[in-house]
Amino acid sequence: MTSLDIAPFANALVLGLSIASIWLIAAIGLTIIYGTVGVINMAHGEFIMLGAYTSYALQSSLGLPFLLCLPASFAVVALVGLVIERGLIRYLYNRPLDTLLATWGVSLVLMQGVRLIFGSDPKYIAVPEIFQSNVEIGFASLSVFRLVVLAITALIVAATAWLFYRTRFGMQVRAVMQNKEMAASFGINADRVYMTTFAIGAGLAGVAGSLFGVLAIVLPTMGTAYVVQAFLVVVVGGGTLMGSVTAAGLTGELQSVFAFVTNDTFARFLLYVLIVVFLRFRPRGLFAVAKGRR
Amino acid sequence: MGVLEIRDLHKSFGGTKVINGFSLDVTELTLCCLVGPNGAGKTTTMDLITGRQKPTSGSIVLRGDDITALSEHEIAQRGIGRKFQVPAVFRELSVRQNFEVAYSREVNPFRNMLRRRPAGFSAKLDEVATLTGLKDRLDVEAGFLSHGETQWLEIGMVLMQNPAILLLDEPVAGMTESEIEKTIVFLNELKRTNTLIVVEHDMGFVRQIADVVTVMHMGAFLAQGKLSDIENDPRVREVYLGEPEV
Amino acid sequence: MTTRNLYHSKPAQWAVYGLFFVIIALIPAFVSDGFLLNQFAVYGIYGMLALSISLCWGFGGILNLGQGIAFGLAAYGMAMTMQMQSQDPDSNPIPPFMLNNSLEHLPWFWQPFWSTGGGILLALVVPTLFYVVFGTLMFRARVSGPFFAIMSLAMLSAFATLILDMQPYTNGANGISPPSPLSIFGTDIDPYGPTAYWIVCGGLIAVTVGAKLLTQSKFGLVIQALRGDPERVRFLGYNVALYETCIYAISGFIAALAGCLWVMLIQYVSPAQLDTTFSIGMVIWAGIGGRLSLLGAILGAFLIQGGQSYLGDQFLATWLLVLGAFFIVVVRFLPKGLAGLLEKVLGALARQPGKHARSDLPHAISGAPAAGE
Amino acid sequence: MDLTRRKLLKQSSLAAAAIAAPHLWLPTAREAWGATLKKGEPIKVGLLFSLTGQLAVPEEDSTLVMQYAIDEINKNGGIAGHPIQPVIVDAKSDFNVYSEKAKELIIREKVIALFGCYTSASRKAILPVVMSQNSLLYYPTCYEGAECTQNTICTGPLANQHSKDLIPYMVKNFGKKVFFVGSNYVWPKESNKNAKIWLQEAGGELVGEEYIPLGSSEFGPVLGKIRDAKPNFIFSTVVGASDIAFHKQFKQEGFKVDSMPIASLTTGEIETKAMGAEFGAGHFLSAPYFQSLENPTNQKFVENFLKSKYGKNGSTHYNMEETYLSAYVFKAGLEAALKKTGNIEEVTSRMIRDVSGGVRVEDDVSPEGLIWIDGDNFNSWLKPKIGQCQADGSFKIVSEAKEHVAPDPYSIYPNAGKCTATGLVAPDGKSRKNVI
């Protein structure tokens, strides 16, 4: 690409936005779980995978339309998240490294459980014909479905921001994050806040999974493809919603531009190295969660 | 000329000035109490001296050497020991091991790989364990100590470090009356061999240990002198002692 | 001291370690099946990896999910060393896979691998150096806990991606399979014979003794202290970042040694050795066996890998399910793993009535786990 | 046989014995290499495929079709009256396990031959043990070549056979400009090197070449580059889950199959079924076998296989058929070895391999039609065919090679030499064994 033609580059930027939205929607559940509960959830990829399988199962058995599969996936995966939080995570809140490992165990169980139920051959989620085309926006071209993902991501970010910054629940969450004991003395049940947040985070992963199942493929191992990126978004962002939005935007664009200039594989390597260097200077990420000092 | 000189220290977080032109001279072998109302910047000053935070401007000089830019461990190696407000000990290690770690004559990791107990450790352990009354508790895991014992353990650890200057942040917080009595005796003993800076709220306690009292207010130096002088200083009365305390 | 937990008695620990060494050294006397001997040797390597995880995670509190970096890089170095042994500088100067990737000369960074000694040395030194650099970067910036874990994982992915992309130099996803076994001083080391087994066994014993002594040194004590409270250690005058880098690099060196020996046994390396699953698997071995016990971690690796080989076929599809569930149970109820269970049992025995239970000092019994074990 | 090597091994273990202990209770060198067969006993073969994990998708089918073929052979009297007994293991999609299980099968189970592997990486992982034990591997799928070992037989197409007809066909029917897309590993790159030669011969023009990470499902950047390059068709060597993502995103991004079809080497019946036929329809595949091949042998094979207990997935596939063939190549090889020695107890793995040069699987057995094994490099002579995916997911055969295409693992590396039965002979005349 030696030509000075601006269009392909602009196209790469538009595409970067789409990649960013995919990484962001993969990371958003992880962000609120890490930001609020402080748990690094290694089973997040499998929550995504469960979302995809939920949509697949509902669609193939009940014939549920795709757009209804999204909230259904949210509900089902949120329920799974709730069970895992109640049954396991809540006992490990003051052992952050152990939660990381326990959730890795959970991910093995979920992955293999799904494999036993659905088999390891790939599945497929159907979407309305209208999503199967592309639109030209001046110089750039993007598929309708990517725009759908972008829109849903924006919607979810807005809804999450509203939930965490404009509602009574959000106030409780922030109170618990600031000081659990103090919040308790105001009658806020930290336990319930954690539980709810974890379930919501899991549910959002479920929504992401339904979308990814359409973009690519439904497989028991599909979650692992997204989870490292999602983690990097959270780490770079520092665990706040704003941080993740910014981090996803930056990394998505960089990936797209690097891929445009070199190739996809090398782009990924460059991105990872850049992130390590970045963390050298901002070890707590772009917008860090405030942590109590001694 | 003091052993530790703080010159025109400034520190701000975001737009808030926490330390605002604070200066202080600490004389060798005295016990200096740092007092002031909440938010006066006492703990931040401790943080700045020990390198936990870096000042926006100003300098800290230890025996003629500027230590402002040094990192925590370098400052500690030069002989400034610190006891935290919330006692910080290694809860998973035994009391003896806590003391062992604190005996930091040798900090080079490679040399420490090759040796188990450095010279002079046993004698020092004996001395400090007796002093802190933990002699019978050496094999106990530190996490199982009572709150008072934990305070003593941390003080003991700072002593093992053999620092020229000890910084104690509210050393008697949470102690029982008898433990406080013991601490008073202990500190008065200690100031014969060490220089101490103590942050404390309890004026009764201050009265019994302090050689010099320095009052901070709004991040700046307000007054310094013997406690009796300070108590009579009208400015101090106004900002600090004038409040319910006296 | 009569009621002290036997688990914390140093002589008892060394006795158990000694017994373990004797048992593994005697295995070839009873096993003549080349397959089994090779398999046991491979388990020994997994044991070394678990031990390296135990050192940096159990003792140093640094959860490293990217141990495959050292293992994999060293394995590539060793594989190239063995590959070059089968090449001839004059008539056959570059490996077939490079020829197929249109390389005409051996790239400069593979040149030293003409020499067996040089190759093995580089295989050990390069990964260790990388750990020093990466560790210094991260620990100076005080990246710790889960953040470090995630960064090590990301770094692992980055390396795997790079090796895949550098196909002309690494043969990409297909990896390198040297056509003949390692030859040292003119002797082929048959991967299925007792010599190979003993080399691995000797390596395992050496690193275990070394690691055990290390954890009992002052350095080991400082490492364990900073696991609980790095800030406190800093204020005692220790350069925490340097200590963390040291233990991280030592653990990396052990993993690199394991990588070299592994290729000696398997004659193969591919980017799969830098798979996240494999690296996290090492953490699972150490976690189940007991991260605070070197021997526990080693036995954890034996247990899980043995289970995978022998129970796995019976369970087939449910193996991962069983492993995952088992791991969850261990993390939830036995944070110190199976070794921690033993510690508890011995502790309870020591508290038996009639033995002067020192009820005033329950802590002395339930014990300081930190003194090495 | 290889006496010097054996002696060396013996020496090394003796040396170790001398170092380690005064007694000679140590095992010395192992018994004779390779397995032997016993009169009146079943012939043990190993099936080394993944039954769990990611690779189970293609490999579970391989195991099933192998069992089907073995049943079929046994039903018809086995080989010289001996039934074949498969030893089935699960490689768990883990290359470490491939290596471990290969050792178990060869050294402990003493199987006479191994059938296994799908990816080149797993093949490379087990080749060291196959070669050092002088065993025999039947590798039943397409691969890149550039390998010359004395212990393998392959029944799939090599890179030099696979796309030979596809590229000229596409250039002729759709236009000169082509964009290469592949997964980032060895086989796609080697395939593309061959494809470039056919492309040049056909007068085509390469307008772009991209590789995406294995397993990646993000094709946005690549499709962007394709959009800019405006090729007439796409030549794809994307594999696995990525391939499905590629076809789906191709359609979602508004690319039209009529004006820019994908010509693939891997997107067969099973892949199409997984992605949904609507995403596969109209694209092309080159393979030696399609389920829809209209010949009596294939029709019988499809019918019998699908109704057998092994046909649960509901389709046949080029990869399955190549695996099926490998069982018959083995049968023919063993029969040839028996003809040579007359005594089944003298047959070794290596002997089977050495006499397999030229063995044929005839029209009445081979669903894809006659194939035979090359006497130099022990790959297969076969006829690649081109199929176009239809709306129902089946393939319509649009072209078939007139002649069998010769396999040549070093066709694009003439400087490396020529693969012969005894090793790779370099241009300077030196011969080297087991070049991998």
Measured CA to CA, the distance from residue A102 to residue D143 in angstroms comes to: 40
**Residue C314 — pLDDT band, cuts 50, 70, 90?**
low
For residue D86, list its beta bridge partners.
D45
Smallest Cα distance from A239 to chain B, Å: 21
Cβ contact A101–C164 (<8 Å)? no
- The pLDDT value given to residue B234: 83
Alpha helices of chain B — where are they, by DSSP H?
A: 42-50, 72-77, 95-102, 109-114, 121-132, 147-160, 177-190, 203-209, 227-232, 234-236
Kindly report, residue by residue over D300-310, the tens digit of the pLDDT. Answer: 999 999 999 99
Given an 8 Å threshold on Cβ–Cβ distance, is D20 in contact with C198?
yes
* The one-letter amino acid at C356: H
Hey, of D93, D94, D253, which one would you mutate to test binding to chain A, going by the most A CBs within 10 A of its CB? D253
pLDDT score recorded for residue A188: 86
- Confidence at residue D376, expressed as pLDDT on a 0 to 100 scale: 93
CB contact under 8 A, A272 and C146: no
- The whole-angstrom separation of Cα C19 and Cα C23 is 6
> How many Cβ pairs closer than 8 A exist between chain B and C?
109
Contact criterion met (CB below 8 Å) for C260 and C75: yes
**Chains in contact with A, counting 3 or more C-beta pairs less than 8 Å apart as contact:** B, C, D
User: CA-CA distance, A77 to A61, in Å (whole number)?
Assistant: 18
- D136 to chain A, closest Cα gap in Å: 30
Q: At what angle do helices A44-62 and A96-118 cross, to 10 degrees?
A: 30
Residue C289 pLDDT > 90: yes
- The β-bridge relationship of strands B220-225 and B212-217 is antiparallel
Which residue matches tokens 């196909």? C167
Residues B214 and B239: beta-carbon distance below 8 Å? no
Name, in order, each residue with C-beta under 8 angstroms of A244's C-beta and a sequence gap of 6 or more.
A24, A27, A28, A31, A233, A234, A237
Cβ of B94 within 8 Å of Cβ of C221? The answer is no
* Strand pairing report for B4-13 and B57-62: antiparallel
Q: What is the mean pLDDT of residues D328-334?
A: 96
Do D245 and A268 count as a contact with CB atoms less than 8 A apart?
Answer: no
- B and D touch with 3+ CB pairs <8 Å, answer no
C-A interface (Cβ pairs under 8 Å ≥ 3): yes
Q: pLDDT tens across D263-310, in order? A: 999 999 988 888 888 899 999 999 999 999 999 999 999 999 999 999
Chain B residues whose CB is inside 8 A of the A294 CB are: 84-86, 88
* Under 8 Å between Cβ of A25 and A156: yes
Looking at chain D from residue 50 to 69, which residues have their Cβ under 8 Å from any Cβ of chain A?
A: 52-54, 56-57, 60
Domain ranges of chain C: 6-354
Reported ipTM: 0.88
pLDDT of residue C46: 97
Q: How far is residue D88's CA from residue D94's CA, in Å, rounded to a whole number?
A: 16
Q: Find, among A282, A192, A226, the residue nearest to A107 by Cα.
A: A226
d(CA D284, CA B92): 66
Minimal C-alpha gap between C368 and chain B (Å): 5
Q: Return mean pLDDT, chain B.
A: 87
Which residues on C lie below 8 Å from B118 (Cβ)? Answer: 218
With a cut of 50, say whether residue D15 has pLDDT above it: no
- CA-CA-CA-CA dihedral for D284, D288, D289, D295, to nearest 10: 110
The residues that bridge with B225 in the sheet, in sequence order, are: B213
Work out the angle at residue C50's Cα, subtended by the Cα atoms of residues C47 and C51, and round it to the nearest 5 degrees.
85
Check residue A199 and give its pLDDT.
96
Contacts of A272 (CB under 8 A, 6+ apart): A232, C154, C155, C157, C158, C161
Query: Minimal Cα–Cα distance from B155 to chain C, Å?
Result: 12
Say yes or no: D120 contacts chain C, CB-CB below 8 A: yes
Spatial distance between the Cα atoms of B166 and D150, rounded to a whole number of angstroms: 77
Chain A residue closest in CA terms to D185? A265
How much helix, strand and coil, in percent to the nearest 5, is found in chain A? Answer: 75, 5, 20
Residue with tokens 């039965």: D421
Residue pLDDT, tens place only, D112-135: 999 999 998 899 999 999 998 899
Q: Which residue has the tokens 């949904």?
A: D276
Of C203-212, C285-294, D122-131, D414-423, minimum mean pLDDT range: D414-423
Whole-number Å distance between alpha carbons of A155 and D114? 55
Residue pairs between chains C and D whose CB atoms are closer than 8 Å: 159
Question: What integer best gives the mean pLDDT of chain D?
Answer: 88
User: For A215-272, what is each residue's pLDDT tens digit?
Assistant: 878 888 888 888 888 988 998 998 889 999 999 999 999 999 998 888 888 888 899 8
Touching subunits of D (3+ CB pairs, under 8 Å) are A, C
Residue C345 has pLDDT above 70, yes or no: yes
Q: Do C335 and A95 touch (CB under 8 A)?
A: yes
Structure tokens at C173: 């996803």
Q: What is the pTM of this model?
A: 0.90
Model pLDDT, residue C339: 92
Nearest CA in chain B to A294: B86
Q: How far is D25 from chain C (nearest CA, A)?
A: 6
C364 contacts on B by Cβ (under 8 Å): 139-140
Parallel, antiparallel, or unpaired: how do β-strands D177-183 and D233-237 relate? parallel
A134, D253: Cβ pair inside 8 Å? yes
Write the residue in A224, A266, A275 that is nearest to C154 by C-beta: A275
- Whether chain A has a CB inside 8 Å of the CB on B53: the answer is no
| The pLDDT of residue C352 | 61
* Per-residue confidence (pLDDT) for residue D6, from 0 to 100: 43
Q: Do D128 and C33 touch (CB under 8 A)?
A: no
Strand-by-strand arrangement of the D423-425 sheet: D418-420, D423-425, D431-432
Q: Give the DSSP per-residue string, B101-170.
A: HH--S---HHHHHH-SS-TTHHHHHHHHHHHHT-GGGTTSBGGGS-HHHHHHHHHHHHHHT--SEEEEES
- Contact present, D139 and D125 (Cβ < 8 Å): no
Hey, what are D135's tokens? Answer: 């065993």
Out of B184-188, C57-61, C317-321, D185-189, the most confident range is C57-61
Query: Does the pLDDT value for residue D1 go beyond 60?
Result: no
Q: Is D281 on the interface with C (CB under 8 A)?
A: no
| pLDDT tops 50 at residue D30 | no
Torsion of CA D252, D256, D261, D266, to 10 degrees: 20
Q: What is the pLDDT of residues D127-168, one digit of tens each?
A: 999 998 899 999 999 999 889 999 999 999 999 999 999 999
Residue A293: closest CA among chain B residues belongs to which residue?
A: B86
Res B241 pLDDT > 70: no
- Tens-digit pLDDT profile for chain A (294 aa)? 444 467 778 888 888 888 899 999 999 999 999 988 888 899 999 999 999 999 999 999 998 999 999 999 999 999 999 999 999 999 998 888 888 889 999 999 999 899 889 887 788 888 887 887 778 777 777 888 889 999 999 999 999 999 998 999 988 888 888 888 888 888 888 889 999 999 999 999 999 999 998 887 888 888 888 888 898 899 899 888 999 999 999 999 999 999 888 888 888 889 988 988 888 888 888 776 544 333
Q: What is the pLDDT of residue A174?
A: 86
Cβ contact C368–B101 (<8 Å): no
Put simply, the answer to whether D95 touches C272 (Cβ < 8 Å) is yes
Does the distance separating the beta carbons of C96 and D124 come in below 8 Å?
A: no
Give the angle subtended at the CA of A51 by the CAs of A47 and A53, to the nearest 5°: 115
The DSSP element (H or E) to which D251 belongs, if any, is: helix D240-252
CB atoms A124 and D276 under 8 Å: yes
Using 50, 70 and 90 to split pLDDT, how confident is the model at C313?
Answer: low
Residues in chain C: 373
Q: How many Å apart are CA A166 and CA C166, to the nearest integer?
A: 50
**Best residue of C59, C156, C161, C280 to probe chain A, by most A CBs closer than 10 Å:** C161
Residue D21 predicted with pLDDT over 50: no
d(CA D212, CA C13): 52
Query: Could you identify the residue written with the tokens 């397409």?
Result: D142
Interchain touch C–B (≥3 Cβ pairs closer than 8 Å): yes
- DSSP-derived letter for residue D76 is T
Chain B touched by A293 (CB under 8 Å) = no
Contacts of D63 (CB under 8 A, 6+ apart): D47, D49, D51, D88
* Residue numbers in C near B140 (CB within 8 A): 361, 363-364
pLDDT of residue C368: 38
Q: Which long-range contacts (CB under 8 A, 24 or more apart) does B12-16 make?
A: B12/B56
Provide the 10 A C-beta neighbour count for residue B14: 5
B118-132, C315-329, C345-359, D374-388: segment of lowest average pLDDT? C345-359
Q: Which of A167-171, B169-173, D6-10, D215-219 has the lowest mean pLDDT?
A: D6-10
End-to-end alpha carbon distance in chain B = 33
pLDDT of residue C214: 95
